[in-house]
Chain A
Amino acid sequence: MMTASANTKPNAPTAAAATAGAGAGARPRRLPLAGVGRRIGSVLVWVGLAALVVAVLYPLLWMVFSSFKDNREVFDSPWGLPSQLRWGNFAKAGSAGVVRYFTNSVLVTSASILTTVLISAWAAYGLVRQRIIGGGLVLGLLLGGLMLAPTVALIPLFNLLQQLRIFDTYWALIVLYTAFRIPFTTFLIRAYMIDLSPEVDEAAKLDGCTPAQTFWRIILPMCRPILVSAALLQALFAWNEFVFALVFISNGDLKTLPVGLMDMQSRLLTDWPVQFAGLTMAAIPMIVLFLIGQRQFLRGLTDGIGK
């Protein structure tokens, strides 16, 4: 399909090839040199990849190590392992607010996963299988919703939530996390449902199922893989969301982790190990969830972004 455009780039790589030391562009004519260049090139590549691993992991390891140190050790031996495991730092961080923020985050995140995934799956099934008057318009509104940014809606939402009397409650966050993620999640699930065979619906209808029964008993279980992906991505979003949590929650007891941690930073100031412990406690759940559900995560990302 695109081979024509593949041939339009002429000799662009030769200069780059020489400096990068790979020498691959001219391989057939300069055999002996090319072998050396090739080896240097791959050494450079490996050094680069390893350096990137260090750059990515070391700050995180520093965070974990420092959360076991005491203040003195943070200053005197910042690079190495802690001399002993001081779990007390985690207890202190916990009672300084992390446990409360953590609970709030779990609550808001799980509630919004439930509402977002169910409402989106319900809508996706309607769009794929039920012939809806103005279905195209609905799709257009969903597509537009993908592009609208939370910051632009911030000030009117400030008024709206107060009028609805849900300002400064969990509901403010749950409702907004659902509304702003419905477009993405619906498209994600819809793309999966389109590939399901319509015969399943036909069979269910013959067995006397109403569309709603078909949805709950047959379609939803069949969509499990994509629902897991959708739930994971919603978890990532809700767990990390910051703007809404900052503006619409002012009660310290209701704050979620991202905003709570920022508060804690200004409260604890130079109690470094406890601060590090708080960061570690906030970061671990998502890293673990990602390592366990990596495949579902990536499928959600690439399917959601590609269609």
Chain B
Amino acid sequence: MHVLNRWRSWVWVLPALALLLVFVYYPIVENLRLSLYSWNAFSAHPVFVGLDNYKTAAEDPIFWRALRNNTVFAVTSLVFQVGFSLVLAAVLEEFVHQRLRGILRTIYFIPAVISITVAGILFSFLYNPQIGLLNRALGALGLVSWQHSWLGEPGTAMWSIIAMSQWQSIGYTAILFVVAIQRVPREFYEAARIDGAGRIRSFFAITVPMVREMTTLITILTISGAFLVFNEVMVMTAGGPSNSSQVLGTWLYRNAFLNDDMGYASAIATVIFFITLLIGASQIYLSRRRRIEW
């Protein structure tokens, strides 16, 4: 009777668990299986092809370019959303009077609440050679040779997308760092000041090590976000021109729903899965190691 009662308590977690298993876990496992077949949306009988889809990926130059674009995205995002944001958060906490600080934080955060689609279209207008402000600003500064059809040239398309993403995310991560900095006991900074340490010294000696946990977390989120990027690219270039701004997500989409090569698309999805799994595992590893250290 007692045991039965305790099983009855599953009624609490059952709805959540059922949704999770059916719509999150099952598709991920199913994707692993599908990646071993050759099939399209209309074929009744998928053909088992083993690892052929992965071989296709390994020999596909666009797959490698997509992977490289994701990596460039990740590295650039780390510089701005971890490095620059941490400095920005420290400056806000250190230099700015309390009331103004709140206003600035709010302003910097605003881009994070508008949708990527809106931001993406807005920036594609900014980059537009006909109406865009960017080329006009460069022209006004006499830098006519710097003008580009930013999203229309293979050399600049990916960077233009990455720049938009930084615009949207810097404020968001800076706010997270602000919260972490506010948790640092003020006495540490007082003690450092008495010892004659200046602001920059305090930043490296106190702030950086004390917010390390948040830094790790944001680093992980930023990297996995960069390998999952899809919306920005889809809205601004859809991977073009001539596949120069293709990322894993858009290449998957193109193969699945435009080229109708579902098997290959599943293989790309599996690659994305293992990359995010690796990143997730490293987060667990890092946070566990820290706990022992403490």
Contacts and interface: CB of A to CB of B under 8 A. Distances in A.
Given A6-B205, A24-B200, A175-B23, A151 B252 contact: yes
B15 A123 contact: yes
Contacts of A176: 23
A156 B212 CA distance: 38
Interface string B203-242: 1111011101010010001001000101100110000000
Interface stretch (B54-62, B121-129, B144-152): B121-129
Interface in A252-299: 257-259, 261-262, 265, 272, 275-276, 279, 282-283, 286-287, 289-291, 294, 298
A109 B27 CA distance: 23
Residue from B12, B95, B109, B230 having most chain A Cβ neighbours under 10 A: B12
B201 A24 contact: yes
Interface in A153-191: 153-160, 175-176, 178-180, 182-183, 186
A106 interface: no
Interface in B1-29: 6-7, 9-13, 15-17, 19-28
A290 B110 contact: yes
Interface in B96-137: 96, 104, 106-111, 113-118, 121-123, 125-126, 130-131, 133, 136
A305 B217 contact: yes
Interface string A49-82: 1001101110110110000000000110011000
Nearest to A186: B16
Nearest to A164: B22
A91 interface: no
Contacts of B179: 298, 302
A192 interface: no
A158 B234 CA distance: 19
Nearest to B262: A155
Contacts of B280: 147
B200 A13 contact: yes
Interface in A234-254: 236, 239-240, 242-243, 246-247
Interface string B17-53: 1011111111110110010000001000000000000
Residue from B16, B126, B266 having most chain A Cβ neighbours under 10 A: B16
A280 B201 CA distance: 44
For this complex, into which size category does the number of interface residues on chain A fall? 35 or more
B256 interface: yes
A127 B230 contact: no
Contacts of A152: 27-28, 31, 269-270, 272-273, 276
A262 B252 CA distance: 19
Contacts of B249: 151, 243
A63 B27 contact: no
B176 to A, nearest CB: 7
B230 A272 contact: no
A21 to B, nearest CB: 11
Contacts of B285: none
A160 B200 contact: no
Contacts of B231: 242-243, 258
Residue from B19, B171, B210, B253 having most chain A Cβ neighbours under 10 A: B19
B19 A279 contact: no
A283 B118 contact: yes
Contact of B113 (A59, A144, A290, A306): A290
Nearest to B168: A56
Nearest to A34: B198
A181 to B, nearest CB: 10
A55 B167 contact: yes
B196 interface: yes
25 contacts: A2-B209, A6-B205, A9-B204, A53-B104, A59-B123, A60-B114, A78-B133, A119-B15, A119-B16, A133-B6, A135-B13, A141-B21, A142-B16, A149-B273, A156-B26, A156-B34, A160-B26, A160-B30, A175-B19, A240-B115, A242-B231, A287-B110, A298-B175, A298-B179, A302-B179
